[in-house]
Amino acid sequence: MATTTFAIAKAKGGAFLLEQRAPEEIFTPEDFTDEHRAIGRTTDEFWAKEVAPHVETIQHEDKGVAVKILKKSGELGLTGVIIPEKFGGMEMDLTSMMIVAERVSRDGSYSGWHGAHTGIGSMPILLFGTEEQKQKYLPKLASAEMVAAYCLSEPQAGSDALAIKTRADLSADGTHYVLNGQKMWITNGGYADLYTIFAKIGGEKFTAFLVERAYPGVQPGAEEKKMGIRGSSTTAIYLDNVKVPVENVLGEIGRGHIIAFNILNLGRLKLGPFAIGGCKDVIAVSAKYAKDRKAFGKSIADFGMIQHKLAEMNIRTYVAESMSYRVVGLIQSQLEGFSWDAPEAAATMLKAVEEYAAECSYIKVFASEVLDYVTDEGVQIHGGYGYHQDYAVERAYRDSRINRIFEGTNEINRLLATGMLLKRAQKGTLPLVEAVKKLQAEVTAGPSFGGGAGPSGPLAEETKIVENAKKIALLTVGIAFQKYLTELEGQQEVLAGITEVAMNAFAMESAVLRAQKIANSGKNADNAREMTAVFVREAMDLIESSARTVLANCSEGDALRMNLAVLKRFTKYEPVDAIGTRRKIAARILDSGRYVV
């Protein structure tokens, strides 16, 4: 793996709620190395030359065109970025993989092909395959000679993955398994050459299998008629007495869930850069249209409401980008000295990703919802033309919607994120209980709690808001646990509300630290500082609303009134001129014609 120097502080997953970080301790796009920038340029050139001229053809469901382009990307190494050189890959780092993902996401359909192949298609073999399996399949996946797909969902088993019905039975001579069943919503399904298929051996042991399309009995269904990403391939996969050699069992028998859940963590992380790339493209398209479109005798870019939209689109994209690469850096910090040649390389990579499973869920939820917001406002800026299929923003709007369903719905991820932090606390790996008790002692001490000189330096007020947001997260966790104890995991609305608070606290802090880092580097940080100033205040309003809902469910009477009083104190902040600030941000976007930091 290409070596990258990270000065990132190693931290436990979820520890952001309990610890303060310095700007230099987080990873941001400003830290990209020459190698990172080079792979970004290569991907941009590939996009401009090979993908952009054929986007319309891909949209009209000529799937063969997309497959040919995917194979061309393999010739450049873009489908084998993280795969070891000995298996035909480029053996670059996780950051490089994310940069490529961001740069190919200007079109939802093509990014579906590329993302499914390089992510959930290839990664299971890289991380869980035997040496023989890797030697047999990874070189062909790295070059895209073989196209990969991942088959977990079934007609009656989506989010509840362990409820699958596909069955595998060992043959009498013990040489192969016979698979029967149906998979649903399989990306790349109609054109894949290799499927990772999950089935239950004997109807009980949840296990993964590597199944080649050429095996008799494997039959892709018809292409699904979808709202968006119409140029991607999405089919059912039918398995009729498919004989799979025993050596094609992937991972351990009965432990397929380890593969499924770990690959989903990585997929959730990768959705951040995918969404960011889509957002940046829509911002550029919308800025150009706003400058060109005339109404009432002038460009609509001169109108305050249009400027508000462009600025807010840019602000939220900036925050999603800051969060995503911060987590990439956290994972990378756990991989210091990493080598795929090490005996436990795959286990080390998996452990590093799993450590930040909650943060990966935050990224998946936050970034997918930012993309939805950006594409929606992009359509609005275009007016009636935004509703017309001749305009790219119409396609982007339809394509964005699936991201809130991919890799576990946003609802599932809102439950998982807080649930994972609570489990860490119960295991003693995250001192959440101690932090909650400390906060409760401060609150009980009386009006002086939260006093002191407070933060100083760039964005000091925003830093204070972040600190209070974390306290609100701890407050809601503590009060919710006091009421429900071990039954808290069954209170979905409460868990989702706590996630909303914690996720936005993480988002706030990521934005603040990045803006401070830019300022400390001597670069012009006006735009980052102003975007951050607007975001943290709006996010605090959302946090207050979510926390109020949780507190009202978990307390009543005098206890509720006291809790709300504490909440009110934590949510106080000095407002900024958001209108004037957004106008300045919009002016920079319109001047550059693109997303700006």
* Pair of tokens at residue 536: 């943290």
- Neighbour count for residue 302 (Cβ, 10 Å): 15
Cβ neighbours of residue 284 under 8 Å, at least 6 residues apart?
593, 594, 595
What is the C-alpha to C-alpha distance for residues 299 and 173, in angstroms, rounded to an integer? 75
Annotated catalytic residue 442: no
Locate 229 and state its tokens: 């990403």
Please state, in angstroms and rounded to a whole number, the distance separating the CA atoms of residues 331 and 56.
Answer: 37
Extract the tokens encoding 379: 């359509």
| Nearest residue to 89 via CA among 199, 97, 129 | 97
Rounded Cα distance, 532 and 538, in Å:
10
DSSP assignments along 441-507, one per residue: HHHHT-TTTT-SS---STTHHHHHHHHHHHHHHHHHHHHHHHHHGGGGGG-HHHHHHHHHHHHHHHH
DSSP secondary structure string, 67-116? HHHHHHHHHTTTTSSSS-GGGTS----HHHHHHHHHHTTTSHHHHHHHHH
Exposed, middle or buried, 445 (CB in 10 Å: 0-12/13-18/19+)?
Answer: exposed
Task: Indicate if the alpha-carbon torsion angle 153, 156, 161, 166 is positive or negative.
Answer: negative
Residue 465 Cα to chain centre, angstroms:
25
Residue carrying structure tokens 């059912």: 236
Sign of the alpha-carbon torsion through 348, 350, 351, 356 = positive
Please say whether the beta carbons of 218 and 196 come within 8 A.
no
Which residues are within 8 A (CB) of 492 and not within 5 positions of it... i.e. 6 or more apart? 411, 415
Structure tokens at 273: 């850069």
What distance in Å separates the CA atoms of residue 293 and residue 429, rounded to the nearest whole number?
56
As given in the structure block, the two tokens for residue 580 are: 């004037």
Q: State the catalytic residue, choosing from 407, 500, 509, 544.
A: 407
Length of the chain: 597
Residue 520 CA to residue 516 CA, distance in Å, equals 6
- Contacts of residue 586, Cβ cutoff 8 Å, sequence gap at least 6: 301, 306, 307, 308, 310, 311, 314
Q: How far apart are CA 594 and CA 597, in angstroms?
A: 10
- Strands 294-295 and 298-299, by their bridges, are antiparallel
Q: Which residues are catalytic?
A: 407
